[in-house]
Amino acid sequence: VVFDGASDNMLGGRLSARGAAILRPLPKWMFIEKRLPPIEGKTVLEIGSNCGFFSFEFARMGAKQVVGVEAVSEYARQANLIKHLLSVDTVRFINRDFLFEEGLPESDILFSSTVLGHMIFPFLGLYKMLKCAKEFVVLDIDVLSVSNPSFDAVCTLQVSNRDRYHFFNFSNAIISDFLRRCGVSDNRVSRYFYSNRCLYIIDVRLLDISPVLKSGNDPLWSNLSE
């Protein structure tokens, strides 16, 4: 048994762990929904769709087609059961690991919430997300030092449950540096900080997403403005 305090829905302590767990993921969704780019008529790819809550919400908002990708087979089965019960024809779920799956459909909007940190290779995952979106990437993640967005470019690793569970935490600076390295300038990124999290709305329209190496083949997180 793994205890999950639903911290991503506590809204900076305004909800208790119990309240957040009961209401999850509605508190987080209420923050995210009002900041989304237009969804109606768009195709949406959700990475880490779990039981399908967000995918069904995108369908409710008028998305043309929604594809949810989920690596855990139990969650994917639950999502497909709910799809059947709700008779939602515009949503489908794929039981695959996004990192290693080839041939996923390009979509207008790619959405991912609380998933990047669980990936084995999170920066590869972020790069693939940027490549899969034609218009926007909507990325909701935990960030280090929300009170200081210019905090050093760092990434930390946490393990729990007898080392069977891992999670990467990122500073805003390291995400921003990596986006610049992939060809996404700061003026294309809207950041909404809440609780210990950040919602990134990344405009990739007409961009050629391709990693840029500086002289000396320095690390991906080096500051491109130097």
Task: Quickly list H helices, the chain.
Answer: 17-23, 26-33, 53-60, 73-86, 122-132, 172-181
DSSP one-letter code for 25: T
Quote the CA–CA distance of 102 and 117 in Å, as a whole number. 21
Which of the pair, 162 or 202, is modelled with greater confidence?
A: 202
Which of the pair, 161 or 168, is modelled with greater confidence?
A: 168
Please provide the average confidence, as pLDDT, over all residues in the chain.
86
Question: Are the C-beta atoms of 29 and 36 separated by less than 8 Å?
Answer: no
Residue 16 pLDDT > 90 = no
Give the pLDDT mean for 189-210.
Answer: 94
Residue 58 pLDDT > 50 = yes
Question: Are the C-beta atoms of 80 and 93 separated by less than 8 Å?
Answer: yes
In sequence order, the β-bridge partners of residue 166 are 159
Enter the tokens of residue 140: 């909701």
Least confident of 4-18, 48-62, 86-100: 4-18
pLDDT given at position 118: 93
Q: Categorize the per-residue pLDDT at 152 as very low, low, confident or very high, splitting at 50, 70 and 90.
A: confident
pLDDT given at position 178: 93
pLDDT given at position 2: 44
Kindly report the CA angle at 156 between 198 and 124, in degrees rounded to 5? 75
Domain 23-150+186-203 in this protein, CATH class: alpha beta
Quote the CA–CA distance of 189 and 171 in Å, as a whole number. 15
Q: Could you report the per-residue pLDDT of 19-52, keeping only the tens digit for each?
A: 555 555 777 898 999 999 999 999 999 999 999 9
Residue 225 pLDDT > 50 = no
Quote the CA–CA distance of 51 and 30 in Å, as a whole number. 18
Quote the CA–CA distance of 47 and 68 in Å, as a whole number. 6
Question: Are the C-beta atoms of 55 and 25 separated by less than 8 Å?
Answer: no
Give the pLDDT mean for 66-85.
Answer: 97
Give the pLDDT mean for 169-184.
Answer: 93
For the chain, domain boundaries? 23-150+186-203
pLDDT given at position 14: 61
Residue 148 pLDDT > 70 = no
